């Protein structure tokens, strides 16, 4: 069985990699924390996700960041290490 990243290669070549990564990040956070983030509250700059959220949610993101990043890498097939701020 092939990874999802194989099917999403077309979008990477169109310059939509950041938008795709951002959307997948929001979905992974929703799966792991059961919290829906707004697209406007997440920004991806230089392989770092910046999240505008209340301090309690940021604490949860920090506690579960390893799980979130592992799921993100599994879904995107990404070899680049990403961070959450």
Q: What is the pLDDT of residues 51-68, one digit of tens each?
A: 999 999 999 999 999 999
- Of 22, 14, 1, nearest to 78 by C-alpha is 22
Element (H, E) at 49: strand 48-51
Domain range for 55:
4-84
Full-model pTM: 0.77
Written as six digits, the tokens of 39 are: 């697209």
What is the tally of structural domains in the chain? 1
Q: What is the pLDDT of residues 26-42, one digit of tens each?
A: 999 999 999 999 999 99
3-state helix, strand, coil in the chain (%, to 5): 60, 10, 30
Share of the chain above pLDDT 70, in %: 76
pLDDT at 21: 84
């Amino acid at each position: 069985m092939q990874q999802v990243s194989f099917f999403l290669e077309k979008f990477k070549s169109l310059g939509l990699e950041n938008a795709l990564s951002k959307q997948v990040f929001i979905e992974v956070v929703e799966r792991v924390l059961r919290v829906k983030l707004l697209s406007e509250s997440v920004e991806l700059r230089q392989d770092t996700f910046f999240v505008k959220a209340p301090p309690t949610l940021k604490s949860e993101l920090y506690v579960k960041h390893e799980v979130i990043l592992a799921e993100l890498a599994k879904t995107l097939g990404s070899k680049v290490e990403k961070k959450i701020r």
